[in-house]
Structure 1
Amino acid sequence: MAENQVENNELLLTRVFNAPRELVFKVWTDPEHFCKWWGPKGFSLNVSKMDVRPGGLFLGSQTSPEGHVMWGKFVYQEVNAPEKLVYVQSFSDEEGNTVRAPFNPNWPLEIINILTLTEENGKTTLTLSGGPINATEEERAAFEGMRPMVQQGFVGTFDELDNYLASQQ
């Protein structure tokens, strides 16, 4: 399989935001904005590094309302402002080394996310597709088994984004 080819258990989500595409792209790529909305409701995000360019790295930690901290990273593959952002997402340690997910030893080490933005009449349609890459059968099965939870997590994150965009206009 070609590297970064999304496998057949791809996730596909679409959401329309009442905001111009340039603003939606900016809040995905500017750490001052990204830290204020990314993640589930009630979680906080600390951005350690955000270098949005092909080969660049995002490194950050999320803290749950109970104080549990998880680190993660994105390695940017494609950055085409303001219409496309492609990154490989992984759990990591504080230094950015890829680690296994704390909640499932079979969770895929790498998940590609392909974000596309289109604008019509001042509204932006965000499409997010992706899934495990370079994954074992066990990792693909773990992702598939948790697909409803992953989708629900993104719905909550997109709700946070929607609220944040409203505050920026």
Structure 2
Amino acid sequence: MTTTNTHDTQILVDTEVPLVRIIREFDAPVEKVFRAHTDVDLFRQWNGPRGYKMDVPHFDCRTGGSYRYTHTTDTGFVAGFYGSFHEVRENELIVQTFTFDGVPDGVALEKLHFEDLGNGRTRLTATSLVDSFEDRDAFVASGMETGVNEGYEKLDELLAS
């Protein structure tokens, strides 16, 4: 398999607050990277780890909208996620909640900031704030790194096509 990934994903754990910050650059204009996060047909193509089937029964990416999706493996493992879009500013910002079905009381507040670096490049900075350091550590230990890295590799491929 060929990948166009030329950038590393930084996953940073804050020591002061229960927050995870993910920073990734893409060789694509901010408009394309933003659209890949807000257009359900594009989002479905890249979000999550390789080898998982994605189902998106609901995706209304606008201020006041909401979403629900699941990732399913060939072995039958299902991971469901849902949340609300609190603010969506075109080509700039998405503020949303994020909840995993397996921990319905563990709501993360997420902020995705899209920065135009010029020359057709974009930096995405995503922060996830949770209720406690224990929840943050469980979030990081859950294997999210694999899903993030493989998802962004698929996003690189989608943006290059």
TM > 0.5 fold call: yes
- Provide runs of 4+ in structure 1 moved above 4 Å: none
Residues 123-167 of structure 1 show CA distances to partners (whole Å, capped at 9, x for unaligned) of 1111111121xx3x5xx3132244253344322221221122112
Residues 48-68 of structure 1 show CA distances to partners (whole Å, capped at 9, x for unaligned) of 111112221111111123222
Query: CA separation of 1:33/1:166 partners in 2, compared to 1, >3 Å: closer, same or farther?
Result: same
Counterpart of 1:125 in 2: which secondary structure? strand
Match of 1:4 in 2: none
* Count of matched residue positions in the alignment of Structure 1 and Structure 2: 144
Amino acid at match of 2:67: F
The answer to whether structure 1 residue 143 and structure 2 residue 136 are counterparts is yes
**Cα distance in 1 between the residues matched to 2:140 and 2:121:** 28
- TM-score in terms of structure 2 length: 0.80
Unaligned runs of 5+ in 1: 1-6, 93-99, 102-106
The answer to whether structure 1 residue 165 and structure 2 residue 153 are counterparts is no
The correspondence of residues 1-169 of structure 1 with structure 2, limited to 5 A, is: 8-92=17-101, 100-101=102-103, 109-119=106-116, 120-132=118-130, 135=131, 137=132, 140-147=133-140, 149-167=143-161
- Do the aligned partners of 1:108 and 1:143 also contact (CA within 8 Å) in 2? no
**Cα distance in 2 between the residues matched to 1:54 and 1:79:** 5
- Do the aligned partners of 2:72 and 2:78 also contact (CA within 8 Å) in 1? yes
- Do the aligned partners of 2:106 and 2:135 also contact (CA within 8 Å) in 1? no
Query: CA separation of 1:156/1:8 partners in 2, compared to 1, >3 Å: closer, same or farther?
Result: same
Greater mean alpha carbon deviation, residues 156-165 or residues 33-42: 156-165
**Cα distance in 1 between the residues matched to 2:35 and 2:107:** 24
- Do the aligned partners of 1:35 and 1:44 also contact (CA within 8 Å) in 2? no
Percent of aligned pairs with the same residue? Answer: 28
Counterpart of 1:35 in 2: which secondary structure? helix
Residues 63-83 of structure 1 show CA distances to partners (whole Å, capped at 9, x for unaligned) of 123222222112101100011
Unaligned runs of 5+ in 2: 1-15
